[in-house]
Amino acid sequence: MISKVTSKGQVTLPVKARKRLGIRPGTKLEFVVKDNDRLELIVISESVKSLKGILPKPKATVSLSDMEKAIRAGASKSVK
């Protein structure tokens, strides 16, 4: 696939490449120049929302006051 650079430094990505990589308007791309003078294009499509469910649910819930107590207990041990 070949594309041409405009006078403004813009490049139109071929439709085939956009479809294959899931690139839509607003998709962020990272460009990395490699040692061998090649340009690597990385699609940045992950959002924080995509991380939902990555960790298993805890077996038991912990209240905020219990968390604060545990933090204080851990902090007091590290001070000694």
Domain that residue 40 falls in: 1-46
pLDDT digits (tens, 9 = 90+) for 15-74: 999 999 989 998 889 999 999 899 999 998 777 777 788 888 888 899 999 999 999 998
Q: Output the pLDDT for position 80.
A: 56
The number of distinct structural domains making up the chain is 1
* Cβ count within 10 A of residue 55: 7
Task: Specify which residues 26 forms β-bridges with.
Answer: none
pLDDT at position 58: 83
The verdict on residue 74 lying in a domain is: no
Residue 56 carries which DSSP code?
A: P
Give the CATH number of the domain where residue 42 resides. Answer: 2.10.260.10
Q: How many helices (H) and strands (E) does the chain have?
A: 2, 2
